[in-house]
Amino acid sequence: MPNIANSHEPFADRVTQVRQLDANAMTLLGHIIAEILHNNLPVTNKGIISALIARLDQHSDPIQRDTYRYLLEMVVNKTPDDFSL
C-alpha cells in the first residue's frame, strides 16, 4: 500500500485514496474468490494466499502489485473466525 501518511495532500484526499484502495482491493478479492470457486476448489486462506502470490509473480505494474500486497497482508493477518459473511 502506498505510504499515504507522509503525503502533503489534505487529510480528506488521503481518506478518499484509502477508501478507493479498499474498494478496489475488495473487488479484486471477490474476483480471486470467484476464480477459486470456478476451479472447484475450496475457498481457504491458503488458496487465497496462493492466488495472490501467483498474481504478484505475474504482474509488473507497481500499483497492481501494491494492491496484491495489501490484500495478502489482510488475508495473512486474519483467522477464519475473523471473517463474517
Q: Is 47 within 8 Å of 36 (Cβ atoms)?
A: yes
* CB neighbour class for 67 (10 Å; exposed up to 12, middle 13-18, buried from 19): buried
* CB neighbour class for 71 (10 Å; exposed up to 12, middle 13-18, buried from 19): buried
CA dihedral 21, 24, 29, 34 (to 10 degrees): 180
Output 49 or 14, whichever has higher pLDDT. 49
Q: How far apart are CA 14 and CA 11, in angstroms?
A: 5
In this predicted model, what pLDDT tens digit does every residue of 21-74 receive, in sequence order? 678 888 899 999 999 999 999 999 899 999 999 999 999 998 889 889 989 988
Q: How far apart are CA 1 and CA 20, in angstroms?
A: 12
